[in-house]
Amino acid sequence: MNAVYPILKRELRSYFASPLAYVILVVFQSISALFFLLYLKGLLHLQFDPSFHLFRGELNLNNVVVIPYFDTMSIVLLFIIPLITMRSLADERTSHTAELLFTSPIKLRDIILGKYLAALILLIIMLFLSSLNIIVLTVHGNPDLGAVFSSYLGLLLLGASFLSIGIFASSLSSSQLVSAIIAFGILLVLWLIGASSDTESSILGYISLINHFENFGKGIIELKDLAYYFSMIYIGLFLTHVALDSERWR
Closer residue to another protein, CB minimum distance, 18 or 196:
18
Residues 6+ apart with CB under 8 A from 238: none
Assess 6 for contact with another protein (CB under 8 A): yes
Stretch that binds another protein, among 11-19, 129-137, 144-152, 176-184 (CB under 8 A): 11-19
Write out the binding residues for another protein, residues 102-131 only, by CB under 8 A.
102-107
Assess 49 for contact with another protein (CB under 8 A): no
CB 108 within 8 A of CB 244: yes
Assess 1 for contact with another protein (CB under 8 A): yes
Please return the burial class of 153, using the count of CB atoms within 10 Å of its CB with bins 0-12, 13-18 and 19+. middle
Query: Could you tell me how many residues of this chain bind another protein (CB under 8 A)?
Result: 27
Binding residue for another protein (CB under 8 A) from 44, 56, 58, 97? Answer: 97
Assess 23 for contact with another protein (CB under 8 A): no
Binding residue for another protein (CB under 8 A) from 50, 51, 96, 135? Answer: 96
> Is residue 8 within a helix (H) or strand (E), and if so which, with residue range?
helix 4-17
End-to-end CA gap in the chain: 31
Binding residue for another protein (CB under 8 A) from 90, 101, 112, 148? Answer: 101
* Helices and strands per DSSP (H, E), number in the chain: 12, 0
Assess 30 for contact with another protein (CB under 8 A): no
Amino acid at the residue 99: E
Residues 6+ apart with CB under 8 A from 110: 2, 3, 4, 7
Integer Cα distance of 136 and 140 in angstroms = 7
Integer Cα distance of 110 and 245 in angstroms = 13
Closer residue to another protein, CB minimum distance, 15 or 213:
15
Closer residue to another protein, CB minimum distance, 49 or 245:
245
Closer residue to another protein, CB minimum distance, 108 or 129:
108
Write out the binding residues for another protein, residues 219-248 only, by CB under 8 A.
248
DSSP category for residue 56: G
Residues forming the site for another protein (CB under 8 A)? 1, 3, 5-7, 9-10, 13-14, 17-18, 95-107, 248-250
